[in-house]
Structure 1
Amino acid sequence: MKRTVSKKRKVQQAQARKVYHAFSSWRFMFVSIVVASIAVLLISRLAYIQVIEPEYLTEEADKRSLRVTKSVTHRGNISDRNGEELAISVPAYAIWIDPKTVKEAYAFNDEQWQASAIENKRTGKLKYTKKKFFESKKWPALAEVLDIKLEDLVKIIERPNARFAYLKRQVNPPVVDYIKQLRLAGIANQLESHRYYPTGEINANIIGLTDLDAQGIEGIEKTYNNFLQGQNGKKRVRKDRLGNVIDQIEVVAEKKAAGNLALSIDQRIQAVAYSELKRAVKIHQATSGSLVVLDVHTGEIYAMANYPSFNPNDRSQYQPYKLRNRAITDTFEPGSTVKPLVVASALAYKKTDVDEVINTSPGWMNIGGRRVRDGKNLGEIDLAMILKKSSNIGVSKLALRLKPGQLQQTFADFGLGNDTGVGLIGESVGRLPIRHRWSDFELATMSFGYGITATTLQIAKAYAILGSGGKQYPLTILKTDNPGEGEQVIPRNIALEVVHMMEGVNEKGGTARKASIEGYRIAGKTGTSRKAEAGGYGDDYVSIFAGLAPASNPRFSIVVMINEPQGDRYYAGDVAAPVFSSVMQSALLLSHIRPDDEHTRYTLLDQLKDAQ
């Protein structure tokens, strides 16, 4: 038995020696070489990355984790002088699609989409290529809520290699919430800003509008775009795989807050001005109209209405001609509204005096072979009656006493032919011819507003100078607390004399009885001028009324222009004067200006005594 065990042990030891001999064979050497080679390669690779290209891994990590985040700055608000909002920015979203993601999510390829498109074109119907995609009610729901056709949505997805396309912009948050609930692959949204105009068409011509990227493209929005826009902030951050920010690396761009604008416009007066202007244009079937209200002591624009207009909240109404700010862009021959300026010029250059009586008989006169006439023979009349009756003969005789350069200089001093300085885009300077030689007939016709052109705002500025006692204040559309001293362009006593003379226009026998306002004295002048056309003057008219109130101590200058009124009632006293009356009355009452009465009014006669 012992011998058998011993024998077995010897056999096991021999087998063990054989196994040990097999382990130390060439295979061990091969494995060792392979392991060593792999180790050398790994060490070499690590050395290469760490020594030769140490930034490689950092760059690769940054590609996967570094992101730039935006901090959106909403466009600044625009308000009137009392803080009422005229333009505001509200949060909105842009809905966009990643066509490639949609195809991948629904197992489509370009060949299938193209085959579908060919079939659609052949049959004229939408043939669906994958039930998984088209039988779902979610995609038709998306198309419906975004107000786009399902066929158009398919065309967007069919674009080869496309990764981004807008479906709709300026979408409200409730719509975004609805789309999120659909849980559609490849559909995403991004925050942007939507511009809203609470007053709609009333201020559209002044405020203007922005494009879809919140950039001002018209009006005040464009003029003050940089101030209103501000600057979005940008930060470089590190995110984890779930999109959470784990580290803020640096500020790429500082966030700059947008500025808010306070306009000089009084929305209460503006609303009345627009309503009355619109009503007059429609009643008289006119082409257009404009109206300006100025504070004569500060140069602030309290109202600037235009018609036609449009609602900037409904871009489908947008037409360029409706957006034009006609008060500063459209020029016309001002007609008899410049006659008070001619009287002021004659007084300033001492070619007449306030008590002079001028003979206008027989109601017409030949000048340079052409005839100037009045509506009837007015006989001998003083300067106040020249303005009250709007005598072409009387004002022509005054103009002929002046040298052409003197009358031109007076018109220029009152702002005709010059930029008003309001700083709005698109303003026209009008036309004030400057030349050395003038015929007597040209000088005469210029004295009653022909041969020169002006805008509604320019005439309002000229009358504001008269109302402020001959001082010119810089015009502004922005609210100001410090209007400055103003520049004296004509003597104070002459300006007050002319204003006093203009009071007769709305009195019995004057050309604008309909301009009167109960409880207030007004000073104004009508102007009805033919429109020039090729070869002369046509049958269309421009009706203008310019005036000041209260005449005892003027606060507002208002000019109303109605372009091409139709019918027999085209004279300014019938067309423009009633608009002036309504708007001026509202402006005076809303500004708490006391009525003129015998006990409280500070009369022009008292002012004249002080000025002298």
Structure 2
Amino acid sequence: MSNDKSRINFFSLLAFIALGALVFRVAYLQLLHGDFYSEYASKQAKGVVESTRGRGFILDVHGEPLALNKKSASLYVFAGELNDRKMFVRKLKKNGLRLSKGTVTRLLKNSGFVWLERNIDIDRAEELQKKIPNIEFLLEEQRLYPERKLAASMVGFTGTDNKGLGGLEHRYDNILQGRKLQLLSLKDNKGQRIVYEDTRKEKEIDTQLYLTIDKQLQGLSEEVLRVDTEKYGAKRGIAVAMDAYTGDIIFAASSGGFDPNSYGDFPAKERKNYPAGYLYEPGSIFKPVLFSLLLDKKNLNIREMVNCENGKYKVYNHVIKDVHPNKILTARQVLIKSSNIGMVKLSDKVSRKEFYDYLKASGFGRKTGVSGLGEEDGILRDVKKWSGLSKPSLSIGQEVMVTPLQMVQFYSAIANGGRLIKPKVVSKVENDGNTYRPKFEQDRIFSEETAKKMQKLLREVVMYGTGVRADSSYIQIAGKTGTGQRIDNKTGTYSERDYVASFAGIFPADKPRVAMVVVYETPRKSIYGGSTAAYTFKVLAEQLSMHLGLKRSYVYESLQAS
């Protein structure tokens, strides 16, 4: 019994001594060498970096890819491990690395983790690692835009950290961004670098953003615009087409553009979405706005006679001119022949307030609400600031700034029976097994009867009036030509040289489904929309009609098999 008690006392004493030694050792390390271990831990912690994986795809309406991901390498170094920092920088530059001033400063002054270059080819990273000691690299994901310039201003682009910086990439970044991972970079006892990946977020995020545009039609419209812009000597060409019943944007194109895979190589103006962001005075394609108001609210008799003053008419000491002088025209002919004087006189039938309220209701002076395109509001002055000349000027598309998207939205209302429908470029979002679709929004701005009358009148513009170059034997087109003057930045007055030529229309004319607008900025071959934009409109309308299977005008209907 006494022996057992002696053993217990012995082992208790031994345990007490061991515990005391452990406490002493911890106190020793903490008090005398705490700074050393703190610095060591800090250096290790600086090896933690963040990377993003699994960014969602952007696809066209048929699921064709517009934005994907590809593997890439990102170079880094721990600056504190460099023996000769200046020599290291010289070697990097000699081997073609593009180092910013900030990177060089961090290499020379910091002791922790420093990015050298992000998202380069893996083969290139392996080659550099062999040539230059201390260089390491991580495998990351880089955005890939397989169609390059196609729809680039709509899709947008991401930065080096795969964060959306423009277009839909930016607008939907919180949905597309994927998952963020932490990577820990350490060296083993042999000096080999080991990268540990955070495995707590292994779940893949399944996100796909489907657009309304058709990749084939988008590419076709961009190519047609490039060819015709050069042919007409224009600074830029723009075209946008919309499904008049759903609000889906079928294509939104411009003649310039940029490659989002190397967006930094292009000026900011080429990254702009011109269908939604280009502001201009629309000229005569705006005349159907007043005409629809007169038909809908004032019961305009299209056979009413209007004195067009043989081409010159003074209003508030300002002379209104017609390109082709006429004496007496019917109200119908005023629209078909695009008489400025006739429209100014017809504008007397409505008050300033009535016209202003109708313009606002028709979507002018405010954004359409389309998502992610960086659209402009346009410019429509408050009626309280109008001068005596404002109402007459607005009736012929002056004193107002619009975007091509606003015009195509209005012409869609003519096509669909009088409903102003909010346009959209995103058809659906699939995220984590769920599907989300944008809300359908519409407001009636005029009656179906008025829409039918406008459809017929615009068809006559193409058949007999200023829009004959838009007439097609394949598909019936209805629309209106426009020629708007640009403001001379030096004089602050209308330029005698720079114009905007346009054509806005709908098709098939007898049962409209699509609204489209074509705009040329400062064309040199001809300033008139009837000579330039009308022809491009016809080409695009024919191609789009074939692609969508819309009604053709010169062939028999298909026979059904019995």
On whether the aligned pair clears a TM of 0.5, the verdict is: yes
1:369 counterpart (312, 317, 320): 317
Q: Does 1:46 align with 2:22?
A: yes
Q: Residue deviations 1:24-70, cap 9 Å, x none?
A: xxxxxxxxxxxxxx99976522255799999x99xx99969999797
Map residues 274-423 of structure 1 onto 2, 5 A cutoff: 274-315=222-263, 317-423=265-371
Q: Residue deviations 1:474-516, cap 9 Å, x none?
A: 21111257874733221011011111101122224x2122212
One-letter amino acid of the structure 2 residue matched with residue 524 of structure 1: G
One-letter amino acid of the structure 2 residue matched with residue 537 of structure 1: Y
2:56 counterpart (76, 83, 87): 76
Measured after TM superposition, the shift of residue 185 of structure 1 is: 3.5
Measured after TM superposition, the shift of residue 281 of structure 1 is: 2.2
Instruction: Please give the secondary structure, in 2, of the residue aligned with 1:371.
Output: strand
Q: Does 1:493 align with 2:441?
A: no
One-letter amino acid of the structure 2 residue matched with residue 582 of structure 1: V
One-letter amino acid of the structure 2 residue matched with residue 552 of structure 1: D
Cα distance in 2 for partners of 1:102, 1:289 equals 54
Cα distance in 2 for partners of 1:249, 1:498 equals 63
One-letter amino acid of the structure 1 residue matched with residue 523 of structure 2: P
Measured after TM superposition, the shift of residue 526 of structure 1 is: 0.8
Measured after TM superposition, the shift of residue 72 of structure 1 is: 4.6
Measured after TM superposition, the shift of residue 239 of structure 1 is: 12
More displaced stretch, 412-421 vs 383-392: 383-392
Q: Does 1:175 align with 2:124?
A: yes
Cα distance in 2 for partners of 1:196, 1:449 equals 42
Cα distance in 2 for partners of 1:190, 1:484 equals 44
Instruction: Please give the secondary structure, in 2, of the residue aligned with 1:358.
Output: strand
Task: State TM-score, norm by structure 2.
Answer: 0.82
Q: Residue deviations 1:260-309, cap 9 Å, x none?
A: 21011111111111112122222233222321111101001111112321
Measured after TM superposition, the shift of residue 429 of structure 1 is: 0.8
Measured after TM superposition, the shift of residue 547 of structure 1 is: 0.7
Measured after TM superposition, the shift of residue 410 of structure 1 is: 2.0
One-letter amino acid of the structure 2 residue matched with residue 511 of structure 1: T
* CA 1:244–1:215: 2 relative to 1, 3 Å: closer
State whether residues 102 and 157 of structure 1, in contact with CA within 8 Å, keep that contact through their aligned partners in structure 2: no
Correspondence for 1:606:
none
Cα distance in 2 for partners of 1:316, 1:237 equals 30
State whether residues 107 and 114 of structure 2, in contact with CA within 8 Å, keep that contact through their aligned partners in structure 1: no
Measured after TM superposition, the shift of residue 317 of structure 1 is: 2.4
More displaced stretch, 352-361 vs 452-461: 352-361
Q: Residue deviations 1:545-569, cap 9 Å, x none?
A: 11111111111111111111124x1
Cα distance in 1 for partners of 2:50, 2:116 equals 22
Q: Does 1:596 align with 2:553?
A: yes
Instruction: Please give the secondary structure, in 1, of the residue aligned with 2:413.
Output: helix
Correspondence for 1:195:
143
State whether residues 342 and 447 of structure 1, in contact with CA within 8 Å, keep that contact through their aligned partners in structure 2: yes
Measured after TM superposition, the shift of residue 250 of structure 1 is: 9.0
Instruction: Please give the secondary structure, in 1, of the residue aligned with 2:261.
Output: coil
Instruction: Please give the secondary structure, in 1, of the residue aligned with 2:117.
Output: strand
State whether residues 473 and 483 of structure 1, in contact with CA within 8 Å, keep that contact through their aligned partners in structure 2: no
Instruction: Please give the secondary structure, in 1, of the residue aligned with 2:485.
Output: strand
1:263 counterpart (192, 211, 215): 211
Q: Please report the RMSD computed on the Cα atoms of aligned residues, expressed in angstroms.
A: 4.0
* CA 1:309–1:355: 2 relative to 1, 3 Å: same
* CA 1:377–1:239: 2 relative to 1, 3 Å: closer
One-letter amino acid of the structure 2 residue matched with residue 386 of structure 1: V
2:417 counterpart (452, 469, 479): 469
One-letter amino acid of the structure 2 residue matched with residue 81 of structure 1: V
Instruction: Please give the secondary structure, in 1, of the residue aligned with 2:426.
Output: coil
* CA 1:162–1:436: 2 relative to 1, 3 Å: closer
Of structures 1 and 2, the larger Rg is shown by 1
Task: State TM-score, norm by structure 1.
Answer: 0.76
Cα distance in 2 for partners of 1:542, 1:425 equals 22
Instruction: Please give the secondary structure, in 2, of the residue aligned with 1:232.
Output: strand
* CA 1:439–1:237: 2 relative to 1, 3 Å: closer
Cα distance in 1 for partners of 2:113, 2:197 equals 28
Correspondence for 2:5:
none
Cα distance in 1 for partners of 2:357, 2:159 equals 43
State whether residues 87 and 197 of structure 1, in contact with CA within 8 Å, keep that contact through their aligned partners in structure 2: yes
Cα distance in 2 for partners of 1:315, 1:461 equals 30
Map residues 483-522 of structure 1 onto 2, 5 A cutoff: 484=440, 486-508=442-464, 510-522=465-477
Structure 2 unaligned segments of length 5 or more: list them: 1-13, 429-436
* CA 1:249–1:337: 2 relative to 1, 3 Å: closer
State whether residues 445 and 451 of structure 1, in contact with CA within 8 Å, keep that contact through their aligned partners in structure 2: yes
Q: Does 1:571 align with 2:537?
A: no
State whether residues 296 and 446 of structure 2, in contact with CA within 8 Å, keep that contact through their aligned partners in structure 1: yes
* CA 1:371–1:594: 2 relative to 1, 3 Å: same
Instruction: Please give the secondary structure, in 1, of the residue aligned with 2:260.
Output: coil
Cα distance in 2 for partners of 1:260, 1:249 equals 24
Measured after TM superposition, the shift of residue 240 of structure 1 is: 9.2
State whether residues 71 and 255 of structure 1, in contact with CA within 8 Å, keep that contact through their aligned partners in structure 2: no
State whether residues 60 and 212 of structure 2, in contact with CA within 8 Å, keep that contact through their aligned partners in structure 1: yes
Correspondence for 2:75:
95
* CA 1:213–1:537: 2 relative to 1, 3 Å: same
One-letter amino acid of the structure 2 residue matched with residue 488 of structure 1: R
User: Percent same amino acid among aligned pairs?
Assistant: 25
Correspondence for 2:408:
460
Measured after TM superposition, the shift of residue 187 of structure 1 is: 1.7
Corresponding residue pairs, total: 524
* CA 1:507–1:196: 2 relative to 1, 3 Å: same
* CA 1:49–1:99: 2 relative to 1, 3 Å: closer
